[in-house]
Structure 1
Amino acid sequence: MSLLNIAVIGAGSWGTALSKLLSEKYSSVTLWARSAEFVQQLCETRENKTYLPGIFLPKRLIITDQIKEAVSSADVIFFVTPSHILRTLAKKAAPFVRKQALLVSAAKGFELSTYKRMSEILAEEFPQHHDKIAALSGPNHAEEVGLNYPATTVIASPHRAIAEQIQDLLMTCYFRAYTNPDMIGVELGGALKNIIALGAGIAEGLGFGDNTKSALMTRGLTEIARLGVTLGANAFTFSGLSGVGDLIATCTSKHSRNRRAGLLIATGKTAHDIQQNSKMVVEGIRATQAAYELSQRYHIEMPITEQIYAVLYQNKNSREAVLELMTRGKTHELEEVVQQELLWK
């Protein structure tokens, strides 16, 4: 059995599933949870009844609410937190993290005050680890990974050796990891797909069908790639698991909290209502604000994102938003290609 020490910071649904996966393979895995009371419940029942009911944790998984205990001997640390608290937890962990430790962001979203990606936050809070940071993203619903259903993920890092170390760490007979050097694209795909999933939920809640959802997903992917390339990503990344793969899962799955939030929005619930009454963070709400502001800053056309922003933050009626999307001016499907004169003369 490997003597590798692994820490998972965050005991939400994905952190719980990831710690289960890792502790089934390695003997020294520690899961950090937010409070002593929550830790006691997890230790006594070996079940996260709040975020991942029905999935039972191996007895050898260590669970603690002490950040120093979790990270001080860790060789690899997975940060699996909501985007808006990553920096706070990184600051708490930083004094205790070993210089040679690898850091992996498994959070999806933006920091609203800076619009920075999660790996950028880790690089700022752990300056000595700037070349030891990776990002994990993909179509990974915790409910299914926890049940050992076959699934795939992507490990992104500009440093091949780092990506491959994390890849080896995660590979099991039911969980397959791929590597990608495009950390920008992998992170943006994971964050921006949540916006389109909100739209898919809204469309479904309004009673529209598969044609509508298919159109939203396809044109939504175009918007994701358009912003991603502007921010430095490789366009090909968005055709992979962390792009279209995660988009499909998040827009169609019963497990998708962003799709469920869209269903509620279609009934008239506000973003504030949803955030106040949800046990889990709906990252798409914050991501919509970040993506909209970035599209304005860089003058990028993102009509779906613009309409979802208007629904969430400007009290626009959902049906009016759909109508406005449908009555936009005519355009080419492959607009960027046509503009480059690679097609019609």
Structure 2
Amino acid sequence: MTDAPAFGVVGAGAWGTALAQTLARTGRPVRLWARDLTMVKILTARRENTRYLPGIPLLEGIEFTDRLSEVAEATDAILLVTPSHGLASVCRHLSPFLDPHHGVPLVVAAKGLDAESDRPLSDLVKDLIPAHPVAVLSGPNFAKEVAVGLPAATVIAARDVALASRLADLFSTANFRPYASSDPLGVELCGAFKNVLAIACGIAQGRHLGDNARAALITRGMAELTRLGKVMEVQTETLIGLSGLGDIVLTCNGLQSRNYTLGIALGEGLKLQDILAQRRSVAEGVYAAAALHRMALKAGVDMPIVAAVDSILTGHAGVEDVIAGLLARPLRRET
């Protein structure tokens, strides 16, 4: 290993690799952690993530490791890009290697909620690694496009907006434009919700319900998100911004979306366990649907689309029955 990197990235899936590639374009060294040594050897030898981003050469400024202790040496920021259900374990293993006196910022780049507590992932990280400031990164970003350097914008949010602004400056490149936000809760709620809504839109596509139905789902989904956001006291600007409406537009319409294509497969009649068995990557909406449904019930917020997706994923209702139930809901004023 060379000297300490500026950035550490925990998670060598498609999104983690794409973010490492983007950070390397800043000219600062990056160290990317993969879970197993075999993956590290392939990444080092071929300079290509053959499993998740085949065909995209990785920049020389990226090093690869399977040791969290070497990622913990990062001086400017450590990005946590693991699936939401594995984040707690990673934090527990990473924490002993971090210097609490240095306090390098931790940036949560996973999109979901903690499945055990239904809390935002940034709260989970703060509890497990309290000595370090925490931010979140989320936006309308497909990993492949970011990895090859196509133009993209994202949001970096932290309660300390000065931290968010500093990280936005550090992560910025010619084609990657981060916007700072002081609303991490809103950004995380949007990141979790858009994946659930994408599954719903995929189901409609798989059932050949048409573009009108998808447009209606997106619009009524925004209404659900707005109701939840109001109760949770998040900023309206977040809901209609990059991490909210922007990411919903992308995820609910693009075939690069894992959640949208999972929904398509469900709509075509495939079983959830069979779909997941054929995939290497994680569709976070599968985990977020139940957490958001519980959150809505606890907050007293009506979120019928979220409830419908959760009932399909848990096997409590079939696709046809859920669609019929949504269409049979009483008519009401839009606002």
TM-score, length basis structure 2: 0.95
In structure 1, the partner of 2:67 is: 66
The Cα offsets for residues 195-230 of structure 1, whole Å up to 9 and x where unpaired, read as: 000011000000111111110011111112222332
* Mapped contact 1:156–1:183 kept (Cα < 8 A): yes
In structure 1, the partner of 2:182 is: 181
* Mapped contact 2:27–2:61 kept (Cα < 8 A): no
* Mapped contact 2:5–2:74 kept (Cα < 8 A): no
Q: Specify the code of the residue in structure 1 equivalent to 2:116.
A: S
Counterparts in 2 of 1:311 and 1:73: CA distance versus 1, 3 Å: closer
Q: How many residues of Structure 1 are paired with residues of Structure 2 in the alignment?
A: 330
In structure 1, the partner of 2:324 is: 323
* Mapped contact 1:150–1:174 kept (Cα < 8 A): yes
In structure 2, the partner of 1:105 is: 108
Give the Cα separation in 1 of the matches to 2:299 and 2:254. Answer: 32
In structure 2, the partner of 1:116 is: 119
In structure 2, the partner of 1:96 is: 97
Q: CA deviation at 1:39?
A: 0.4
Q: Give the secondary-structure state (helix, strand or coil) at the position aligned to 2:93.
A: helix
Q: Specify the code of the residue in structure 2 equivalent to 1:281.
A: V
TM-score, length basis structure 1: 0.93
2:129 is the counterpart of 1:126? yes
Give the Cα separation in 2 of the matches to 1:74 and 1:270. Answer: 45
Q: CA deviation at 1:188?
A: 0.7
Give the Cα separation in 1 of the matches to 2:201 and 2:223. Answer: 15
Give the Cα separation in 2 of the matches to 1:180 and 1:161. Answer: 9
Give the Cα separation in 2 of the matches to 1:155 and 1:141. Answer: 16
* Mapped contact 1:5–1:29 kept (Cα < 8 A): yes
> Identical aligned pairs, as a percentage?
38
In structure 1, the partner of 2:229 is: 228
Counterparts in 2 of 1:226-265, with a 5 A limit?
226-265=227-266
In structure 2, the partner of 1:306 is: 307
* Mapped contact 2:26–2:172 kept (Cα < 8 A): no
Q: Give the secondary-structure state (helix, strand or coil) at the position aligned to 2:82.
A: coil
* Mapped contact 2:25–2:173 kept (Cα < 8 A): no
Q: Unaligned 5+ residue runs, structure 1?
A: 335-345
* Divergent runs of 4+, >3 A: none
The Cα offsets for residues 31-61 of structure 1, whole Å up to 9 and x where unpaired, read as: 0001000000111111111111121111231
In structure 2, the partner of 1:85 is: 86
Q: CA deviation at 1:127?
A: 1.1
Give the Cα separation in 2 of the matches to 1:116 and 1:265. Answer: 27
